[in-house]
Every structure is written in structure tokens, then in C-alpha cells.
Structure 1
Amino acid sequence: MLLKFAINDFLDDREFKNVTPNTLSNYKNILGQFHDFCVENEVVNVEDVTLNVVKKFILFYQKKGNNATSTNSKLQRIRAFFNFMIETEVIQKNPASKISKAKEDIRIEVFSDYHIKQMLNYYRRIKQREKVFWAYRDHTIIVILLGTGIRLSELTSLKWADIDFVNQTLSVFGKNRKLESIPLAEKVIKELSAYKIYCEQQFGTDKVKSFVFTDRDNQGLTANAIKCMFKRLSKIMNFKDVRLSAHTFRHTFCQKCIHAGMSTFAIQRLMRHSSIVVTEKYAAMWGNDLKEQNEKFNPLNTLNL
């Protein structure tokens, strides 16, 4: 079977299974790269793809700068594709099944208080100038990301109807298309309330009914638009020690909760991790418990030195 047609069948199957638009786009990009690589190496049929071909593809993009996370993402998507080929009885074995995942760095970047203050102060300064709308919107985006830990996809799909100002909760569709409700802190509610009033003054009360974060024409922002926003801000801030992205705010939210002494179970609920194992990984990295236990029970405590 031609690789091109096989990939199209697979993508149709993913769409039929209602994967998220981001996931579908990711499949298209990676499998498109894989198809082009195979054709360049004169491999056009699914049955002719070998373990060596997949390895060469992975190595090719590693040399182009793919880190361990990107490498593992490619490997995961390719494995899923060939598993589908096995299910549809096109092939019998998955050529990518024996390729080991790349070891990923365990360092997770977070913002310091200095980083956060610099970003917020920048938007506060330009709020008094001609770019008031963009400055206020982007300032609010940072506050919401930092105060809730929601994902980029959840931020872009956020609508005013999802916010319960009375009960101070936010409804979001998580990674698994599961509707979940999370509590909002008092400061977050105040920020959103003030921003809503500002939007009503800008666009009219009757028009502020859909997306919370929009462009100047009141059209909802895309994930790419927010990525571009952070790219521009990154050049202005010029932080050398941290990547400026929506996910870094999510990590920062998690770290701040751990440092404040919040329970692992509560953090899991707020972050909406599918498994508490993920939360425990962060707790082990940023938790203060080990330091406190060492201070309390260290053998030197009983010695006069």
C-alpha cells in the first residue's frame, strides 16, 4: 500500500475518533515529514518501511536540532501510525516498536518572581499609551495563566460563559475532552471581572458573550497568536535563563503551589493530571519536605561540634 494513501487513511481514522485539533495537526506535520523523508530515500510503500528507515528519519531530525522531547513525540506518532497499519492488516510488525525513547532532561523551567514582575510591569507601563487594548489583554493573559495553571488550548477556548463569577469557578475541557471545574482565587476573579467590564466598554455589552481573549475585532485568539505574543515579549524581556511560553506559566503555577505547602492531591486536581504520579514527579523536584526532614533528623543535630 502506498505510504501516502496509508497516512491519509490513518488521519481520517484519527479524525473519526475525534482527537483534538492540536493532536490531529501534530499527526499531519510529523507524518508529512516522515512521508517526505521516505520518498527522498525511495521508500514509497508501507510494507517497505524498515526499522533502519525509521531510525534514519529520527537521526535526520536530531541533527536538524530536534531535542529529546521532539524526538519522542515523532516516535510516538510514527508508532501509532504503524499500529493502525497492523490493525488494518496492511503489515504484521511495527518497524518502530524496538526503537527506544530518547532520554529527556528532567530540568523543568519556571519563572522567578523577578521574571513575573518584569513582564507585568512592562504591560502596565504601555497600558497608558496607544496600545491599551493589547497591553491590558496580554497582561490579563499572564495573570490568568499564572493564577490558574491552565493549558494554552484551554486558554484559547475559554469563554465568558465558562466563568462562574458567583461561585468563583472555571469550567475547562481538559486534554481528554473531559469537562472539569476548577476553583478560582479571589485575585483571579477580580482581574477577570475588571477585564470583562473593559471589554464591554470596548466592544459593547451585547458583543462580549463569546471568547474571553480576542483580537481587536473581537475574534477569539488562536494558539498560534498567543505563541507569537510570547515570542514578541521574549525579545523585549530578553530572559537568558528561561523559555517564555504558556507552558512555563503552568509549571510555575505548580511550583508555587508546592512551595506554599499545598497537598499533592490538591495540586493534581488543580493541574488535572491524569495520574498522581505526574504530580509526584513535580513534588519530588520542587518539594521542601526532604529539606525539612533532613533538618529535623540530621545526625549532626545530636552532636556538639
Structure 2
Amino acid sequence: MSTERKRRVNLAAAGRNSSATELPPESTDFEAARAAFLRYCRIRNLSDKTLDYYRDTLKELERQLTTLEIERPMDITREHLMDALETKRSEKIKRGRAATPADATMNKLIRGWRAFFNWIHTEGFIDTNPFKGIGTIKSERRIIETFSNTQIKTLLDAPNRSTFTGYRDYVLMMTLLDTGVRVSELAGLRLQDVDWRDRTLKVYGKGRKERLVPFSRTLEKHLREYTEMRGVIDTDHIFVNIDNEPFQVRGIQQAIQLYGQAARIKGVRVSPHTFRHTFAKMYIMNGGDSFSLQKILGHTSLEIVRMYVNLFGTDVAKQHAKFSPLERL
């Protein structure tokens, strides 16, 4: 007796025999479809971080589908996905998460799931794409927190610069403020990435994209002093811990958080990313243009940069009043 199916798989051989056993495993087994998709991502040479992102989002998708008692990718409907998204968002809000952070997390899931379903549909493992028409969640933009000048000075005064780790942390925070690099990019910096003549750092950002980030004469002075203090060791990572091993992202985050507590900084999250926001704010306030800021920060589009400009529009207006070509005629 043949197995009855509600939809056919978009494969030429699918209609020749109605037996589900002859269908490709990617159509009938979620684990097989996930493994094939991740293999495709590896072939595309996507970064390990991107692969981990897809693994995590698809793990959550499998959990939601198991709750709905759905096992075969070919049986997933748009309604199933809408139910899964609604359930997940409710779970996060019930755990005490604010709506806006919950929406941000949901959008990460949506982008991951969309990429997966787009691929298995393009490959012909499912007849229709159940994710078609499902967009990201529109959420309110939160005010970006940045450090004040006083807070920055207090933070930079917090490390004990008479010690190696204290001076390292001082230079580390200066680098974050002067360049706006991400904490992962900072942790990955190596000695050969510094061009002392042109005063640039070769940074490896998201999606394995390489860019050059300029730094100031002030940072050059302290960075040279730090590298001399660091000395010649086995690793070529610039920032190292007391054991002469690369200073990892988590360690950097914890160190900066502790300095924030010691400096009694209130009303703003003390983190490497706040340094990045502060750099962007001060760059715009001091007359920097959005296109160069985009290149420095490593954003693929101007959307985030426009957000900085809009948020600090009052300060930009002051700059315009000061440097307006018409006013200077």
C-alpha cells in the first residue's frame, strides 16, 4: 500500500514512485536536511562564527518542530513556523526579558530559519517554501548608550598602570576608544597587523572581511610602550594575559566590567561595545562623515551609521551651524 502525501517534492524522480522511502533524506529527515545545509555553508567557506549561528538557530527550530510533532521538512507549513515563532517569543517574555531584546533575538532566529528554508527549497527538497512572506519583527529602536567624557577619564584612570596587566588594560581601552573595533577584532589583533608607518591596524571582521583601521599618534605612543613591555613571547597576539597566552574575548569583557564597578560608573553598561558606540558618537560629533565611519566600523551598509547620525543629530546640527558653507560666504 502506497503512502499518501499531501504535497509532492520538487524532484523529477519523486512522481515515479509514491513510496516515501525513495525520497531524498533531506525531504523526510530534519537532521539530514540540517547536516546538508551546514555542509553547504562550509563549502561556501563561511566563518566558524556563522556556522555556530546556523547550528544554534536550527537547533531551536528542531525543538519547536518536535513540540509540534513535525519531523519531515516536507511537512512543515507556514502556520507551523508562525506557531513556533509565537511560542518562542512568549517564552522569552515570560522569562522576564523586555520586549525589545526579545524581538532582537527573534530576528536572529528568523534570519537563520529563512536561510535554511530558502536553501532546501532551492535544492528541491521541498515543493514550496513555507518561510516565504515571513519578515523580521519590527521593534522600537533603543537609545544607544555611550560614555560621557568624564566616565571615559574615570575608566582610563582605573587600571594600575604600574603593573603589566594594568597597563595592558589601559592601552586596551584606549584602542577600543580610538578605533571603534569590535572586542573579537581586538582579541584577534596580532603584531604583524600593526602598520606603524601609516598608523593602521589590519582588522579581520565579520564574514572574514579584512579592513584597515587608522589610529592616532597618542595611541601609537602607548601601543609601542605596551608592546615593548610585552616582550618576545610564543604567541604573536598583541594582547595577552599574565600567562603570556592570548587575552580572550570573555576575559576582556570581564576586565572592563570590573573597571566599571571600581570606577562606580552608573547609568550605562560598561562593556567593549559601549566603547564602540562611544567612538561612533564622538566621531560624528567631531565632524566625521558617515561614509568614512562606515569603513572604519566595518559595516556592510549605511543603515547603522545613519542611526548614529540620527541619534546625535543635535550635535551634528551644531557642527553644521559652525561650518556651513552658506554662513561662510
C-alpha contact (below 8 Å) 1:154/1:174 kept by paired residues:
yes
Q: How much has 1:268 moved relative to structure 2?
A: 2.4
Tell me the secondary structure at the aligned position of residue 269 of structure 2: coil
Q: Does 1:286 align with 2:312?
A: yes
Number of the residue aligned with 1:255? 281
Aligned ranges 1:211-290 → 2 under 5 Å:
211-233=237-259, 239-287=265-313, 288-290=315-317
Aligned ranges 1:192-203 → 2 under 5 Å:
192-200=223-231
Distance 2:30 2:111 in 1: 18
Q: How much has 1:176 moved relative to structure 2?
A: 3.7
TM-score by length of 1: 0.83
Where structure 2 has 5 or more consecutive residues not aligned to the other structure, the ranges are: 1-27, 325-329
C-alpha contact (below 8 Å) 1:79/1:94 kept by paired residues:
no
> Which amino acid is 1:192 matched to?
L
Tell me the secondary structure at the aligned position of residue 158 of structure 2: helix
Aligned residue among 147, 151, 154 for 1:111: 147
**Which stretch has the larger CA shift, 21-30 or 274-283?**
274-283
Aligned ranges 1:1-305 → 2 under 5 Å:
1-63=28-90, 64=92, 65=97, 66-106=101-141, 107-124=143-160, 127-128=161-162, 132-200=163-231, 205=232, 207=233, 210-233=236-259, 239-287=265-313, 288-290=315-317
Q: How much has 1:73 moved relative to structure 2?
A: 1.0
Give 1 or 2 for the bigger CA radius of gyration. 2
**Which stretch has the larger CA shift, 76-85 or 110-119?**
110-119
Tell me the secondary structure at the aligned position of residue 139 of structure 1: helix
Deviations 1:186-240 (A, max 9, x none): 111112111111111xxxx2x2651112223322233333344445555555655
CA RMSD of superposed structures (Å): 2.6
Q: How much has 1:255 moved relative to structure 2?
A: 0.5
Distance 1:22 1:57 in 2: 25
Distance 2:255 2:86 in 1: 32
Deviations 1:68-122 (A, max 9, x none): 2211111001100111111221113332332232223322222222332332222
Distance 1:72 1:278 in 2: 16
Distance 1:289 1:146, change over 3 A: closer
Distance 2:64 2:255 in 1: 32
Distance 1:90 1:277, change over 3 A: same
Q: How much has 1:8 moved relative to structure 2?
A: 1.6
TM-score by length of 2: 0.78
Deviations 1:161-185 (A, max 9, x none): 1001232111112324232222211
Distance 1:93 1:8 in 2: 20
Distance 1:108 1:90, change over 3 A: same
Distance 2:196 2:247 in 1: 22
**Which stretch has the larger CA shift, 26-35 or 135-144?**
135-144
Q: How much has 1:244 moved relative to structure 2?
A: 2.7
Tell me the secondary structure at the aligned position of residue 182 of structure 1: strand
> Which amino acid is 1:219 matched to?
E
Number of residue pairs the alignment of both structures matches:
287
Distance 1:291 1:182, change over 3 A: closer
Where structure 1 has 5 or more consecutive residues not aligned to the other structure, the ranges are: 298-305
Distance 1:8 1:153 in 2: 27
